[in-house]
Structure 1
Amino acid sequence: MGFDNLVECKICGKLFMKTGRKNICPSCLNKEEELFMEVKNYLYDSPNASIKEVAEQTEIDEGLIMDWVREGRLERTGIIMTYPCEMCGKPIHTGKICKSCQNELGVVSDSLSGTKDEGKDETKRSMYISDKFKK
């Protein structure tokens, strides 16, 4: 058994055994959850508040609130907050890019992989034919 899970907390710097996805020690994670509940409670009272307003009123870092919005944690509570798409700037409430930008990226990806797929088809056919010869 090694120390592969031994990491440094990105908040306080203490070493701990990582069991989840975040690089935050249990103590800092509990503090972060308390902050999350504070934001969640504020949003129940002021559901139309902007991220900036929430950060100012709760004195919680705007970046941390943005992380929770991107993760969809605040949306699951029935509160939908918006922030700009990283590509076009349209308001979105989950992820990093809007659906139309995702579609554009999909078209570009399909066109790029179209040339690759042709090669894959040839490989599949030749593998299939060679398999036939082996039998």
Structure 2
Amino acid sequence: MTTDQLTTTITDLYRSLGDRPAFDARLHPDVTIWESDADELLSGLAALDDLRDRRATRASGPAPVAVAPEQLRAEAWGDTGLVRYVLRARYAVDRPDECFRVTDVLRREGTTWRIVHHHAEAVR
């Protein structure tokens, strides 16, 4: 079922977090990205790498012990898919979870789904 393929793509994406090549394999090279900590629309993997590097230099405290999507809802229309979910980052120490509302638009290329647009908003 196509919606299962979409949710598997998103779940596998976050399972590969920390392995940039594996993570990026699920992203279209021209992906556009809205993130709560980016002032402008990011375009392409180079812009994403720049954001990742900026995040690494300003990181404070421990990294999350787990990052996983929850409440996934997926739909597909031909070769276009849409997945909405809550992304939860859990920490081992006395730090509350961080949650983000996420919408990903995916395009099927052969048998593979790749994210062409990612929109994440921090839930405060």
Structure with bigger strand share is: 2
Q: Which has the higher contact order (CA 8 A, sep 6+)?
A: 2
Q: Which structure shows the higher helix fraction?
A: 1
